[in-house]
């Protein structure tokens, strides 16, 4: 089992970029999403059927969760422990649920919900330093999630949801 610590620099609600720093047993990498991309994704989230009535905070939580997924999707294994810095204290379960869904549907991973934890990632942590350096432009991010990355998730999620609704309708008719 590998421990993956994640911290962010910059607020998701702000008019600046936001960076995520990741520490995997002493190996660091980061991702950065620019403000213009954040705005496009947030607006797009509001246009999807299942998210039309969501508040901006709920869309921000979803953006945060999707960005986490896009950042670590290629490195996470089922048995790994993920520790995410507490940013949205009341939303831990929602973030966990979104991540579990995304890893299950897009990576085929059955992650134990207990393996996604939330805690204080300290200022001494590599993830914190990397996130801050990336946010300030002192480090180039390894990943730059773009609109297309989010749309690929959203489009596939909509397809999955439509198929589930069709199955439910067929089942109710039987």
**Is residue 82 packed enough to be buried (19+ CB in 10 Å), middle (13-18) or exposed (0-12)?**
buried
Q: How many CB atoms lie within 10 A of CB 57?
A: 13
Q: What CATH number should be reported for the domain holding residue 13? A: 3.30.420
Q: What is the pTM of this model?
A: 0.85
Residue whose tokens read 């869904």: 101
Q: What is the model's pLDDT at position 99? A: 94
How high is the pLDDT of residue 14?
A: 87
Q: What residues have CB less than 8 Å from 117, skipping those under 6 apart?
A: 81, 82, 83, 84
Burial of residue 25 (CB within 10 Å: 0-12, 13-18, 19+) is exposed
Number of domains the chain is built from: 1
Give the model confidence (pLDDT) of 116-152 as tens digits: 999 988 888 999 999 999 999 999 999 999 988 888 8
CA 113 vs CA 51, 83, 105, 118: distances in Å: 24, 12, 15, 11
- Extract the residue ranges of the chain whose pLDDT is less than 70: 48-53, 158-165, 167-168, 171, 174
List the domain range (segments joined by +) for residue 68. Answer: 3-173
DSSP 37-62: HHHHHHHHHHHSGGGTT--HHHHHHH
Q: Which residue has the tokens 């911290």?
A: 7
Please choose, from the candidates 97, 78, 96, 101, the residue with its C-alpha nearest in 3D space to the C-alpha of residue 1.
Answer: 78
To 5 degrees, how large is the angle CA 50–CA 56–CA 60?
A: 85
């Amino acid at each position: 089992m590998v421990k993956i610590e994640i911290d962010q620099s910059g607020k998701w609600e702000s008019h600046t970029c936001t960076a995520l720093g990741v520490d995997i047993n002493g190996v660091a990498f980061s991702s950065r999403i620019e403000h213009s991309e954040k705005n496009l994704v947030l607006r797009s989230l509001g246009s999807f059927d299942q998210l039309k009535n969501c508040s901006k905070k709920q869309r921000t939580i979803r953006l945060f969760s999707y960005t986490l997924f896009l950042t670590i999707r290629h490195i996470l294994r089922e048995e790994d422990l993920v520790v995410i810095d507490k940013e949205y204290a009341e939303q831990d379960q929602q973030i966990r649920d979104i991540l579990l869904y995304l890893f299950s549907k897009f990576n085929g991973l059955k992650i134990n919900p207990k393996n996604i934890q939330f805690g204080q990632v300290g200022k001494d942590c590599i993830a914190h330093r990397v996130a801050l350096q990336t946010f300030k432009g002192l480090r180039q991010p390894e990943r730059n999630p773009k609109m297309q990355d989010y749309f690929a998730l959203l489009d596939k999620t909509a397809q999955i949801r439509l198929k589930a609704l069709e199955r439910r309708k067929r089942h109710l008719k039987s």
